[in-house]
């Protein structure tokens, strides 16, 4: 057994693998599928959140690489590779785009080395690190990215794993402070909302049975991550409502894009 394999716990459901299951992937285990089905029974629309978040990623990256001219992406909490990963979307628009992925899930690490291969003109890299390891992330990312030039900081569904509010805001701020003017924050976050009470029940089930535990925040609390940035229209909204190609129902995953 390799060191990576020894770190994979197949006895407890894991969020990245359940997310993979909901989006039709095959990198999951029976325990993940069972938990995913039980969560979906509590909240039937939950599988749509994963799809909506992935579609938001594509729209945001296409906009940044196209209209904003961004050529560097730092994607923290990337999750398991699937269709239309950040580098694939960015490099279709700009083949010379550079992307650094960061995650600390051993299964993600095992697949990332094989799957996250970019264009000859661009570069992709993968770091095995926790979101809170800011100095490590920035030092390693600077070997691939020029941090004196604009970078898109991608934090999709990852700050939900930082339970303390002030710590989560501080982590995002420290990362942004290290990036050049013209950089962008792309962030999505599960929310608690009075119109979606079944989401709270599903999250409670997850936190009792799964790993890692996640924290919901209100839409206003999610908007606070963008304090001091120029928010791109339409602001912080359901990720399905951020510049969709076709109308989509709202989901309890809010997102936004802000310019430094």
| Separation CA 219–CA 238 (nearest Å) | 9
Report yes or no: 231 and 256 within 8 Å, Cβ to Cβ: yes
Of 73, 96, 82, 50, which Cα lies nearest the Cα of 251? 50
- Residue of 178 and 43 predicted with greater confidence: 178
Q: What is the pLDDT of residues 11-38, one digit of tens each?
A: 777 777 877 787 777 778 888 888 878 8
Instruction: Tell me the pTM.
Output: 0.86
Q: Give me the percent of the chain exceeding a pLDDT of 70.
A: 94
Half-sphere exposure of 49 toward its Cβ, with a 13 Å CA cutoff? 26
Q: 260 by DSSP, 3-state: which?
A: coil
The tens digit of pLDDT for each residue in 49-64 reads: 778 888 999 999 999 9
pLDDT digit string, tens, across residues 77-87: 887 777 788 99
Q: Which helix (H) or strand (E) holds 38?
A: helix 30-42
The two three-digit tokens of residue 69, written as one number: 């001219």
Average pLDDT, the chain: 87
């Amino acid at each position: 057994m390799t060191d990576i394999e020894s770190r994979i716990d197949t006895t407890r459901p894991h969020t990245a693998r359940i997310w993979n299951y909901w989006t039709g992937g095959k990198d999951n285990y029976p325990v993940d599928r069972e938990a995913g089905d039980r969560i979906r029974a509590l909240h039937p629309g939950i599988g749509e959140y994963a799809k909506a978040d992935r579609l938001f990623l594509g729209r945001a990256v296409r906009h940044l690489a196209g209209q904003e001219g961004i050529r560097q992406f730092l994607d923290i909490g990337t999750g398991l590779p699937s269709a239309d990963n950040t580098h694939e979307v960015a490099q279709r628009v700009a083949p010379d785009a550079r992307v650094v992925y960061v995650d600390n899930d051993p299964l993600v690490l095992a697949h990332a080395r094989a799957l996250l291969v970019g264009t000859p003109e661009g570069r992709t890299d993968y770091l095995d690190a926790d979101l809170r390891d800011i100095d490590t992330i920035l030092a390693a990312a600077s070997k691939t990215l020029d941090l004196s030039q604009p970078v898109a900081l991608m934090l999709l569904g990852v700050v939900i794993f930082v339970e303390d509010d002030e710590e989560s805001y501080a982590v995002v701020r420290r990362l942004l402070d290290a990036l050049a003017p013209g950089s962008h924050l792309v962030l999505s976050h599960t929310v608690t909302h009075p119109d979606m009470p079944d989401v709270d029940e599903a999250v409670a089930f997850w936190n009792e049975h799964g790993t890692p535990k996640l924290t919901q925040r209100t839409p206003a609390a999610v908007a606070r991550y963008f304090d001091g940035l120029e928010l791109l229209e339409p602001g912080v909204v359901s990720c399905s409502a951020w510049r969709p190609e076709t109308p989509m129902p709202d989901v309890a995953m809010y997102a936004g894009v802000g310019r430094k």
